[in-house]
Amino acid sequence: MINIDASVYEYVPGFPKKEYDFTLRHLASHRSGIRHYRRWEQENTRPKSMEEGLAKFQNNKLRFEPGTDYLYSSYGYNLLGIAMEKATQRSFEELLTTYVTRPLGMEHTLPDPAEYEALETSGFFIYKGGQAREAKSVDLRLKLPSGGMLSTSEDLVRLGNAYTYQRILAPATQEEWMANTPLPNGKKPGYGLGWGVSPDPKGRPRLSHTGGNTGAICKLIVYPEQRVTVALVSNTSDVDWLRVVGEASTISNEVLAELGR
């Protein structure tokens, strides 16, 4: 068992002490004050563990007092993953397989390997100046669990449908994850626990998340009440992100209109 409202130091006592204490919930909701990664910090060319990845940010000051503001932070989720490993004495990969990918039939979702030759991937590309060139190989395992995953559009739809049909979380827990809880100043950041949460222009509840790295970008949109999930995956990076997000939203709206929902 892991207590989401416990201090991170209960599970990762070796993490450098900060001016303020912060909890696992602060990490999961991006309210811890831990910074996000910088662009050049993504491109790791040699294998590193999750704990080695802490060195990139563990000595930085918090950007604000935990709980008082919102700052999207992949590094915060990396620390959350290490807390999960310490609490359960199991690797994040084992936890993911046991509780998510295997039960949901996500057979093509796994931590991103450094070498792709043995896998049936389409390759990864960078698009610049009207030309597509193969992206350089990077090792993304130090980004777990905030990133560093290899998947397919079909598996992402399976994940989205798990929330639509409540196959992965108890109803009360799922409701908590989907709550757009206000900050102390009353503003709602549009993020729950692990999901972007905001209604669409027609007021329909909507979950979403965007992700990407060298040679890939993706967008997942879930309409739980309408039981519609849309996953858009591209094996090219350095393209117009807003266009990708817009296309995913357009597809979602077309599907909803076709279904009369």
Q: In this predicted structure, what is the pLDDT of residue 72?
A: 97
d(CA 223, CA 101): 21
Token duo for residue 166: 């409540």
Report d(CA 38, CA 5) in Å as an integer. 28
Residue pLDDT, tens place only, 49-98: 788 889 889 999 999 999 999 999 999 999 999 999 999 999 999 999 99
Residue 66: the pLDDT is: 99
Distance CA 151, CA 62 (A): 32
Where does 8-259 sit in CATH, by number? 3.40.710.10
- The token duo for 152 is 């397919």
- State mean pLDDT over 26-41: 90
User: DSSP readout, 63-118?
Assistant: SS-TTS-----HHHHHHHHHHHHHHHTS-HHHHHIIIIIHHHT-TT-EE--S--TT
Residues whose CB falls within 8 Å of the CB of residue 170, separated by 6 or more in sequence, listed in order = none
- Distance between CA atoms of residues 5 and 7, nearest Å: 7
pLDDT value for 45? 54
Judge whether 234 and 122 are in contact, CB under 8 Å: no
* pLDDT tens digits for range 202-249: 899 999 998 877 778 889 999 999 999 999 888 877 666 666 667 777
**Closest listed residue to residue 194, CA positions, set 100, 63, 127:** 100
91-143 pLDDT, tens per residue?
999 999 999 999 999 999 988 765 554 456 677 767 777 777 777 766 677 77
Which residue, 232, 189, 229, 188, is CA-closest to 206?
Answer: 229
Q: What is the pLDDT of residue 254?
A: 81
The whole-chain average pLDDT of the chain stands at 87
Is the Cβ–Cβ distance between 216 and 116 less than 8 Å? no
Task: Give the confidence band of 257 by pLDDT, cuts at 50, 70, 90.
Answer: confident
Q: What is the pLDDT of residue 239?
A: 63
Residues 136-194: pLDDT tens digits? 766 677 778 898 888 999 999 999 999 999 998 999 999 999 999 999 999 999 999 99
pTM of the model: 0.88
Task: Identify the bridge partners of residue 210 per DSSP, sorted by sequence position.
Answer: 219
CB–CB of 24/44 below 8 Å?
Answer: no
Q: Cα 172 vs. chain centroid, distance in angstroms?
A: 21
pLDDT at 101: 96
Decide if pLDDT at 43 tops 70.
Answer: no
Contact by Cβ (8 Å): 135, 125: yes
Instruction: Tell me what pLDDT residue 88 has.
Output: 96
Considering only residues 37 and 237, tell me which one the structure prediction assigns the higher pLDDT: 37
Cα Dmax for the chain: 54
Question: What Cα–Cα distance (Å) separates residue 184 from each residue in 35, 52, 187?
Answer: 20, 34, 8
- pLDDT band at 7; cut points 50, 70, 90: very high
What is the per-residue DSSP string for 156-189? Answer: HHHHHHHHHTT-SS-HHHHHHHT--PPPTTS---
Sheet with strand 125-128: strands edge to edge: 131-134, 125-128, 236-237
